[in-house]
Structure 1
Amino acid sequence: MLQGKRILLIIGGGIAAFKIPELIRRLREQGASVTPVLTKAAEQFVTPLTIGSLAGEKVYTDLFDLTDEAEMGHIQLSRVADLVVVAPATADLMAKMAQGMANDLASTLLLATDTPVMIAPAMNVRMWEHPATQRNLALLQQDGITVLGPDEGDMACGEYGPGRMVEPADILEAIGVALKDGPLSGKRILVTSGPTHEPIDPVRYIANRSSGAQGTAIAQALVALGADVIFVTGPADVDPPKGVELHKVESAKDMLAAVASALPVDAAVFAAAVADWRVASASGSKIKKQADGALPVLEFAENPDILATISQMGQGRPGLVVGFAAETDDVIAHATAKRARKGCDWIVANDVSPETGIMGGSENAVTLISDAGAEDWPRMGKDEVAAQLADRIADELRG
Structure 2
Amino acid sequence: MTAQALAPGASASSAAAPSRPLDVRDYKTLALSALGGTLEFYDFVIYVFFATVIGALFFPVDMPDWLRQLQTFGIFAAGYLARPLGGIVIAHFGDKVGRKRMFSLSIFLMAAPTLVIGLLPTYASIGVAAPLLLLAMRVLQGAAIGGEMPGAWVFVAEHVPARRYGFGVGTLTSGITGGILLGSLVAVAINRHYSTAEVAGFAWRIPFILGGVFGLVSVYLRRFLHETPVFRELADRRNVARELPLKTVLREHRGASVFVALLTWVLSAAIVVVVLYTPTYLQKVHHVPATLALEANAVVTLMLTLGCIVVGWASDRIGTRAVMLIGWGGLFVTTYLFYTSLPGTPGSLVWHYGLVGFFVGTIATVPIAGVRAFPAAVRFTGLSFAYNMSYAIFGGLTPVVLTLWLEKDPMAPAHYVGLLAALGFVLGLLPLATRGHAMRGVPAGSTMAQ
TM-score (ref. length: structure 1): 0.22
Q: Which has more strand, going by share of residues?
A: 1
Q: Which has more helix, going by share of residues?
A: 2
> Which structure has the higher relative contact order (CA within 8 Å, separation 6+)?
2
Structure with higher Rg: it is 1
TM-score (ref. length: structure 2): 0.20
